[in-house]
Amino acid sequence: MKGTHANLSKEFITTSDKTDWHNDALWFLRAKRDKQRDTIEDWEKLRSTAAAIKDHTLSRLADYLQTFEENALQNGMQVHWAWDDAELREITASILRENNARSVVKSKSMLTEECGLNPYLEKEGFDVVDTDLGERIVQLRKEHPSHIVVPAIHLKKEEVSDTFHEKMQTEKGNADPGYLTAAAREALRKDFIKADAAITGVNFGVAESGAVVVCTNEGNADMGVHSKKTVIHCMGLEKLVPGYKELAVFTRLLARSATGQPVTVFTSHYRKPRPDVKQHIIIVNNKRTDIYTDPEFRQAMRCIRCGACMNTCPVYRRSGGHSYHHTVPGPIGSVLAPFYGKEKNKDLPFASTLCGSCNNVCPVKIDLAGLLYKWRQKLTDETSADTSKKMSMQVGSSILKSHKKYGMVTTAFRWVPKSLLQSKFNPWNSKGEDGKKARVFPEVPGETFRQWYKKRQK
Amino acid sequence: MNSKEKILDSLKKACGDPLPRPEIDLLYDKTALVEEYVRTAEASGTEVFLGEEENITGIITQWSEGQKIQSSVPRLREKYPLVFDEDMPFDQDNIPGVFVAEASFGVVENAALWFTDEELTSRLLAFIPEKLIILLSRNHLVATMHEAYARIEEGKTFGFGLFMAGPSKTADIEQTLVKGAQGAKELAVILY
């Protein structure tokens, strides 16, 4: 069970001093989100409207996809359909080959991350440069994004400075974010000039107009799209909205929920290619039809990938995104992950306290805690059991079922010496990087609650 | 079956009864206030000048600090000729030091400015110059994105449409806000 969330988060918690810092960084986003919420008069109704729009769109998804394709074709776009990750990779590579494109600038796309596009293209001999600053940082470090909106949130500026010094020859030890951003801008400008093609993700597809909408703060998607002759937009099939009227609801919610901005700096609507430009849209399934077919889990397809559930999740905030060993981390990631491998992702729905904070912030009102709870039941039945967990559950159940056994065990537990409970033999205890104790088993009170209660009655 | 048929077929088999398209019926103040726009624009890192038609060029000259100005605004093109060449987008001699455009309209709740190919003439011009100065008529303000998209729907169709709310920025390094990530480093609006 080496790669489980529990083990990976232990690494994050005990081998770095980042836990509190990471926790605060994410909570900062959550607090900014709350401020934005308070400026909108009808916020709760905005959320429920968004959920209803998504449910409506999903109930007619096949029709809307066809409408979208017809309109996009009429606008001069080329439309492709990919059944799975492999097909997305192949279509992309063949478009690039047909247009003699060897190097690509790519803006943020969790979908292509999910489909392993970068490693595939690199293996096939293409150069791929991620142009979102956060994604560029993790790409240079050969890591994966630890968050879907702020990919480098797990890194301190000193680490970024070291990476840039090594890869881009910036001044050693200069960790000023302004300096580092300027250096990245200069380096990326050269990549934009050199590239033959641009690839983007998609935030929304507008069925009635055939437009794809991409939201960025940096403007990096547009730098590529408007300067290259070959452009590819990769879109998950759940990204559709019926028309502009509905798009208004989502542009009001997305950035407010994600980073606490009233809107992203750039909301670009690509409808028609420039003259002499080949612009492609790849509509991607990759197991989305499996989620769609499951009536209990279909609501997870409402997700607009804002990341609000991660920013608020007490487990995500303290364990870091890489503990989740799935492309999308946090509560929504743990709901989606079992569709991509029940056995390998069976631990993820347990990486939650089920506190429900994610439900309260989700802009499309997905019952995340409820769905995580459902997965726990299903996965316990449908996957191989972890022996230690199974045994401890059986022991626990037999003790909790019997009043007598419970009394005996809780009394006996008090005899275990504190020196043993707080020693390294108890896996509960952990040490931080500095060798100091990071988590210590709490002291056991001298008497049980019942003993205390009875004494008090007298 | 090809992938398209396979996808549509799987969806059709599972879709169930269609749900009605929801009414969007939200309560909020629909008046577009200039003071509120100035507040949201400044919060987005935009510099706002309250001007009049007569002193627009004066403000532009002053703000540009001697850099080469190019404009797509028909009434300013003679004064600030547009020489940007889309086929050589990264040629330094072509890129305006300051680019002047007119927004079709602005949104009060988030300071977003709407542009299409018509206002920009070249799509890249909204992104590649380091400084942008945007004209916005006080009569072209709407309260929220709901009014904004209603207007877009009524207006002419476009090839590229853009909401821009502030200068390009990033907070990808330790949450520290830095202006000028890939696009414009500075954005000013002349509200006239």
CA distance A106 to A131: 6
- Residue B13 included in any domain: no
Instruction: Please answer yes or no on whether A218 and B171 come within 8 Å at the CB atom.
Output: no
- Residue B2 included in any domain: no
Mean pLDDT value of segment B124-151: 97
Residues with Cβ within 8 Å of residue B151, at least 6 apart in sequence: B105, B114, B142
Taking the Cβ of residue A262 and every Cβ of chain B, the question of whether any pair is shorter than 8 Å is answered with yes
Name every chain A residue with its beta carbon within 8 A of the beta carbon of B169: 217-218, 265
Cα angle: A412, vertex A414, A415; to 5 degrees: 70
Taking the Cβ of residue B167 and every Cβ of chain A, the question of whether any pair is shorter than 8 Å is answered with yes
Taking the Cβ of residue A259 and every Cβ of chain B, the question of whether any pair is shorter than 8 Å is answered with yes
Which H or E element spans position A173? none
Show the domains of chain A with their CATH numbers.
Answer: 1-39+302-384 (1.10.1060), 43-137+192-286 (3.40.50.10420), 416-457 (no CATH)
CB-based contact A16:A8 (threshold 8 Å) = no
> Of the candidates B17, B22, B28, which has its C-beta nearest A41's C-beta?
B28
Other beta carbons within 10 angstroms of residue A434's beta carbon come to: 8
Residue B168 binned pLDDT confidence (cut-offs 50, 70, 90): very high
CB-based contact A429:A440 (threshold 8 Å) = yes
Give the gap in angstroms from C-alpha A377 to the nearest C-alpha of chain B.
Answer: 23
Write out residues 373-412 of A within 8 Å (CB-CB) of B: none
Helix pair angle (A43-59, A61-74), 10° resolution: 90
Instruction: Please answer yes or no on whether A49 and B22 come within 8 Å at the CB atom.
Output: yes
Q: Which residues of A33-64 are buried (b: 16+ CB within 10 A; e: fewer)?
A: beebbeebeebeebbebbbbbbbbbbbbbbbb
Tell me the pLDDT tens digit for each residue of B53-85. Answer: 999 999 999 999 999 999 999 999 999 999 999
Structure tokens at B152: 């877009």
Instruction: Please answer yes or no on whether A262 and B153 come within 8 Å at the CB atom.
Output: no
Q: What is the CA radius of gyration of chain A?
A: 25
Tell me the pLDDT tens digit for each residue of B5-54. Answer: 999 999 999 999 999 999 999 999 999 899 999 999 999 999 999 999 99
CA A376 to chain centre: 20
The pLDDT assigned to A385 comes to 76
- Burial class of residue A15 (count of CB atoms within 10 Å of its CB; 0-12, 13-18, 19+): exposed
Taking the Cβ of residue B33 and every Cβ of chain A, the question of whether any pair is shorter than 8 Å is answered with no
Bridge partner residues of A432 (DSSP): none
Phi first, then psi: what are they for A436, rounded to 5°?
A: -80, 155
Instruction: Please answer yes or no on whether A222 and B183 come within 8 Å at the CB atom.
Output: yes
Residue whose tokens read 């609006």 = B189
CA distance B89 to B95: 7
A69 HSE (CA, 13 A, CB side): 16
- Residue B23 included in any domain: no
The pLDDT assigned to A228 comes to 97
| Predicted structure pTM score | 0.94
Taking the Cβ of residue B1 and every Cβ of chain A, the question of whether any pair is shorter than 8 Å is answered with no
Domain of residue B62, residue span: 31-191
Give the gap in angstroms from C-alpha B25 to the nearest C-alpha of chain A.
Answer: 8
CA distance A74 to B78: 36
CA distance A308 to A360: 10
Instruction: Please answer yes or no on whether B167 and A177 come within 8 Å at the CB atom.
Output: no
Taking the Cβ of residue A49 and every Cβ of chain B, the question of whether any pair is shorter than 8 Å is answered with yes
Amino acid at A63: D
- Residue B100 included in any domain: yes
- Residue B112 included in any domain: yes
- Residue B66 included in any domain: yes
Name every chain B residue with its beta carbon within 8 A of the beta carbon of A61: 11, 15
Distance (Å) of CA A40 to CA A43, A303, A339: 5, 21, 36
Taking the Cβ of residue B50 and every Cβ of chain A, the question of whether any pair is shorter than 8 Å is answered with no
CB-based contact B116:B103 (threshold 8 Å) = no
Q: Provide the residue-wise pLDDT of chain A in tens; the chain has 458 residues.
A: 568 999 899 888 877 778 889 999 999 999 999 999 999 999 999 999 999 999 999 999 999 999 999 999 999 999 999 999 999 999 999 999 999 999 999 999 999 999 999 999 999 999 999 999 999 999 999 999 999 999 999 999 999 999 999 999 999 999 999 999 999 999 999 999 999 999 999 999 999 999 999 999 999 999 999 999 999 999 999 999 999 999 999 999 999 999 999 999 999 999 999 999 999 999 999 999 999 999 999 999 999 999 999 999 999 999 999 999 999 999 999 999 999 999 999 999 999 999 999 999 999 999 999 999 999 999 988 988 778 878 888 999 999 999 999 988 988 888 888 888 888 888 888 777 677 777 888 888 888 888 889 999 87
Structure tokens at A265: 């700096």
Give the gap in angstroms from C-alpha A443 to the nearest C-alpha of chain B.
Answer: 37
Task: Domain count for chain B, please give it.
Answer: 1
Instruction: Please answer yes or no on whether A264 and B4 come within 8 Å at the CB atom.
Output: no
Which ranges of A349-427 does DSSP label H, i.e. alpha helix?
Answer: 357-361, 368-382, 387-401, 403-413, 418-421
CA distance A295 to A425: 45
Structure tokens at B55: 């002193």
CA distance B165 to A217: 9
> Of the candidates B15, B86, B110, which has its C-beta nearest A59's C-beta?
B15
Question: In CATH, what number is assigned to the domain containing residue B109?
Answer: 3.40.50.10420
From the list A133, A151, A111, A147, the residue with the least C-alpha distance to A311 is A147
CA distance B138 to B181: 29
User: E strands, A244-383, where?
Assistant: 266-270, 278-284
- Residue B94 included in any domain: yes
CB-based contact A83:A285 (threshold 8 Å) = yes
Bridge partner residues of B142 (DSSP): B107
Structure tokens at A138: 């993790």
Amino acid at B82: L
Name every chain A residue with its beta carbon within 8 A of the beta carbon of B18: 56, 59-60
- Residue B164 included in any domain: yes
CA distance A115 to A130: 15
CB-based contact A188:A220 (threshold 8 Å) = yes
Tell me the pLDDT tens digit for each residue of A54-69. Answer: 999 999 999 999 999 9
Instruction: Please answer yes or no on whether B160 and A271 come within 8 Å at the CB atom.
Output: yes
The pLDDT assigned to A2 comes to 67
Mean pLDDT taken over chain B: 95
Instruction: Please answer yes or no on whether B159 and A53 come within 8 Å at the CB atom.
Output: no
Bridge partner residues of A8 (DSSP): none
The pLDDT assigned to A433 comes to 67
A43 HSE (CA, 13 A, CB side): 17
Cα angle: A105, vertex A92, A239; to 5 degrees: 85
